[in-house]
Structure 1
Amino acid sequence: MSAAKANNNKDTYKATGITLMVFGVLYLLDKLVHFAALGLPWVMQKDNFLLYTAIIFLLVKHDKSVGLVLAGLWLVLNFGLITALLGTMSAYLLPLALLVIGIILYFIATR
């Protein structure tokens, strides 16, 4: 059990280190290139940094729970953006997505 916990800490440190490096590169590139001047102001929006962190944690960390929680938090915080992008289809997709996620979680819990 101790080896698994040490490996989990190592994954967390690795994912956190990569996240900090990506943030540093993004801030440096923004100072040099100015994403807003290129028509990419969304790259440096604060709520997207949560999405970047979620993606990095999902890619690097063996335990996907932290990445999934961060991605879910980003989805909740950007619900207005998502529904605007989906348009009228969002009225059906949200209940369907909740139903599918609930079924998946139920089957995982009963296994």
Structure 2
Amino acid sequence: MATKAINNKDTCRAAAVFLTLTGIIYLLDRWIDFADCGLAWVTQKDTMLLYASVVFLWFKSDKSVGIILAGIWLIQNINLVTELLGQMSSYLLPTSLLAVGVIFYFISSK
């Protein structure tokens, strides 16, 4: 019972920090207009997902939500990841996805 209360408190804290961060980013966008500064990516939806994953990884003791959000962000931005990895991505990315899938399968079957 105490673990569930701590987990709920962590979730509320992480959600509060994310909502506050999102509000600050959008308020700054109204004042600065990130698009005019060449920083339009700061307020994109997929970047907000990345912010949420980082906040949940940082503030929540159970890291599963943050890992899932980061995985969703990674899948949505697979082209960016492959561009950053260059030629190495043709082998590294599929191998990594295969390894993570196998690890998750074995963890879930215990």
Question: Taking structure 1 as the reference length, what is the TM-score of the superposition?
Answer: 0.88
Q: Which runs of 4+ in 1 moved over 6 A?
A: none
Displacement of 1:41 in angstroms is 1.1
Q: 1:18-57 to 2 correspondence within 5 Å?
A: 18-57=17-56
Displacement of 1:98 in angstroms is 2.5
SS in 2 for 1:36: coil
User: Structure 1, unaligned stretches of length 5 or more?
Assistant: none
Match of 2:82 in 1: 83
Match of 2:3 in 1: 4
- State percent identity of aligned pairs: 54
Question: Taking structure 2 as the reference length, what is the TM-score of the superposition?
Answer: 0.88
Q: Counterparts of 1:56 and 1:18 in 2: how far apart (Å)? A: 7
Q: Which moved more, 1:74-83 or 1:49-58?
A: 74-83
CA RMSD of aligned residues (A): 1.8
Give the residue type in structure 2 aligned to 1:95.
P
User: Structure 2, unaligned stretches of length 5 or more?
Assistant: none
Counting matched residue pairs gives: 110
